[in-house]
């Protein structure tokens, strides 16, 4: 099956499922698309008892797609740039310290908490798995997904301050999570001893190098856009920044996700917009990246739903996945406690930020892509099933209920607007 045919099928399915969702289900797009794709795949599996033509066709599509490569080396850069471009820069600047601590200390703490807890859970279930592989799982499941959470938070009426913390953390912790995963992956797969210096060099090059590259890309794009007034070319400049920047990051072994988030924040912040873009250019740049965001999002969540076909399900793995759901949630809650308790004394935090950030921290395609990159020696099939169970629960159950949680805690924008001014 060639690239064009596979792409055409995926876009066609995304359009059909998106239409069904908007016309009938009216769920947030990420949730609706994934739910419909899961139901479609289950229907195809059921139909295969009579006629397996559709099942074989779907399996052929999935077998021809390297999900890890497609997402991590392609789609992720576009999605993170688009997300950063539309992030409220002023709010993010005010919340920069908690966001950075959540995205670094929070991810590292969660990685070790999840890895340690799952090591004992799997031992109790009869699995003999090295601790380093459990840490690898902790690293791949700890980053939250800005792609999944952004639209859901807007629909839920989350306060802007809270939305900025969750989305800002998600944008940066993807890059940090991938770096932590790659560092642990190198340790797990190395036959030679990996020193602390090696780890710091790898971590420093990926993180600091990625951010520095993003600043450089954003600055070059800013200078080029400032020197002309042509919305067509200015849109192409932003597209080139993402595509060329991703190639450079990969060649220099820097974090492309962190580079794209940084570049998106530079190009998208209010000061740069006012000094470089006319109103027409600003509209076209925003609409172009919104369209890219929506198109790739729809394809991504259709792919996540279809990835069910590559899983090797067994009772023990499913049980481990179900137990891992509360374990991962509890570890996220604990990893957020210290930063929240520290920063809420200095910044005006929304009440019960800890609960909302725990329940609103959805997992998505990045976790699945990283799980797919594991080797068989690292117990790929087991960790892939556990990851898939958590991602499906996260997007469907948490995603559908996060709005209710926000309203129940009385911190939604609509609830606050409805309160009398004397409160």
Q: Residue 227 falls within a domain, yes or no?
A: yes
pLDDT recorded at residue 313: 84
Closest CA to 362 of 28, 15, 23, 12: 28
Q: Residue 144 falls within a domain, yes or no?
A: yes
Position 343 pLDDT exceeds 60: yes
Q: 215 or 183: whose pLDDT is higher?
A: 215
Q: Residue 136 falls within a domain, yes or no?
A: yes
Planar angle of CA 71, 373, 84, nearest 5 degrees: 30
pLDDT recorded at residue 147: 64
State how far the Cα of 80 lies from the Cα of 297, in Å rounded to an integer: 11
Closest CA to 257 of 358, 154, 333, 147: 147
Q: What is the pLDDT of residues 17-69, one digit of tens each?
A: 999 999 999 988 888 999 999 999 999 999 999 999 999 999 999 989 999 99
pLDDT recorded at residue 419: 44
Q: How large is the average pLDDT for residues 318-332?
A: 97
Q: What is the pLDDT of residues 136-166, one digit of tens each?
A: 999 999 999 876 666 677 677 777 778 888 8
What DSSP line would sit under 392-410, residue for residue? Answer: HIIIIIIHHHHHHHHHHTT
Q: Residue 57 falls within a domain, yes or no?
A: no
Closest CA to 294 of 24, 71, 70, 79: 79
Closest CA to 28 of 148, 141, 111: 148
Q: How far is CA 69 from the centre of its chain?
A: 15
Could you tell me the CATH number of the domain that includes residue 341?
A: 1.20.1530.20
Query: The tokens 């070059």 sit on which residue?
Result: 220
Q: What is the pLDDT of residues 221-274, one digit of tens each?
A: 999 999 999 999 999 999 999 999 999 999 999 999 999 999 999 999 888 888
Q: Residue 28 falls within a domain, yes or no?
A: no
| Number of structural domains the chain divides into | 1
Cα dist from 219 to 238, 263, 281, 376, whole Å: 11, 8, 18, 43
Kindly report the average pLDDT of the chain as a whole number: 89
Q: What is the pLDDT of residues 370-395, one digit of tens each?
A: 999 999 999 999 999 999 999 999 99
Cα dist from 209 to 74, 112, 212, 256, 258, whole Å: 19, 25, 5, 9, 9
Query: Burial letters for 158-188: b for 16+ Cβ neighbours within 10 Å, e otherwise?
Result: bbebbbbbbbbbbbbbbbbbbbbbbbbbebb
Q: How far is CA 236 from the centre of its chain?
A: 25
Q: Residue 75 falls within a domain, yes or no?
A: yes
pLDDT recorded at residue 199: 83
Cα dist from 289 to 183, 190, 292, 293, 410, whole Å: 32, 40, 5, 6, 33
Q: 33 or 189: whose pLDDT is higher?
A: 33
Q: How far is CA 70 from the centre of its chain?
A: 14
Position 420 pLDDT exceeds 60: no
Position 422 pLDDT exceeds 70: no
pLDDT recorded at residue 150: 66
Token pair of 30 as six digits: 């990420």
Q: Look up the domain containing 179 and give its range.
A: 67-415
pLDDT recorded at residue 94: 84
Q: What is the DSSP letter of 219?
A: H
State how far the Cα of 90 lies from the Cα of 103, in Å rounded to an integer: 18
pLDDT recorded at residue 151: 67
Q: Residue 29 falls within a domain, yes or no?
A: no
Q: Residue 251 falls within a domain, yes or no?
A: yes
Q: What is the pLDDT of residues 71-120, one digit of tens each?
A: 998 899 999 999 899 887 888 888 889 999 999 999 999 999 999 999 99
What DSSP line would sit under 21-54, residue for residue? Answer: IIIII---HHHHHHHHHHHHHHHHHHHTTT--HH
């Amino acid at each position: 099956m060639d690239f064009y045919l596979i792409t055409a099928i995926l876009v066609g399915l995304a359009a059909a499922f998106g239409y069904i969702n908007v016309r009938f289900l009216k769920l947030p797009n990420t949730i609706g698309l994934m739910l419909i794709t899961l139901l479609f795949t289950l229907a195809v599996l059921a139909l295969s008892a009579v006629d397996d033509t559709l099942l074989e066709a779907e399996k052929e599509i999935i077998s021809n797609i390297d999900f890890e490569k497609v997402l991590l080396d392609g789609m992720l850069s576009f999605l993170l740039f688009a997300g950063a471009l539309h992030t409220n820069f002023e709010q993010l600047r005010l919340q920069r310290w908690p966001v950075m601590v959540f995205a670094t200390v929070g991810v590292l703490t969660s990685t070790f908490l999840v890895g340690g807890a799952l090591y004992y859970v799997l031992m109790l279930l009869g699995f003999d798995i090295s601790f380093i592989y459990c840490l690898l799982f902790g690293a791949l499941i700890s980053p939250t997904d800005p792609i999944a959470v952004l639209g859901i938070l807007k629909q839920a009426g989350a306060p802007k301050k809270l939305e900025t913390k969750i989305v800002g953390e998600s944008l940066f912790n993807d890059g940090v999570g991938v770096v932590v995963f790659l560092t642990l992956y190198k340790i797990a797969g190395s036959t030679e001893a990996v020193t602390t210096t090696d780890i710091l060099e790898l971590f420093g090059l990926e993180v600091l190098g990625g951010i520095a590259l993003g600043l450089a890309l954003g600055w070059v794009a800013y200078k080029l856009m400032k020197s002309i007034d042509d919305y067509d070319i200015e849109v192409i400049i932003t597209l080139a920044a993402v595509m060329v920047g991703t190639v450079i990051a990969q060649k220099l072994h820097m974090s492309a996700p962190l580079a794209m988030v940084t570049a998106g924040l530079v190009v998208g912040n209010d000061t740069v917009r006012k000094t470089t873009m006319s109103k027409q250019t600003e509209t076209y740049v925003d609409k172009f990246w919104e369209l890219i965001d929506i198109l790739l999002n729809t394809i991504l969540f259709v792919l996540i739903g279809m990835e069910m076909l590559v899983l090797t399900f067994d009772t023990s793995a499913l049980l481990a996945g179900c137990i891992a759901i509360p374990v991962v949630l509890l570890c996220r809650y604990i990893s957020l406690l210290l930063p929240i308790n520290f920063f809420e004394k200095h910044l005006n935090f929304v009440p019960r930020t800890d609960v909302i950030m725990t329940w609103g921290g959805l997992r998505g395609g990045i976790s699945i892509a990283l799980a797919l990159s594991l080797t068989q020696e690292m117990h790929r099939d087991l960790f892939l099933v556990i990851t898939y169970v958590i991602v499906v629960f996260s997007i469907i159950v948490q995603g559908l209920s996060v709005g209710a949680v926000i309203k129940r805690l009385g911190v939604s924008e609509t609830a606050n607007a409805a309160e009398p001014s004397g409160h």
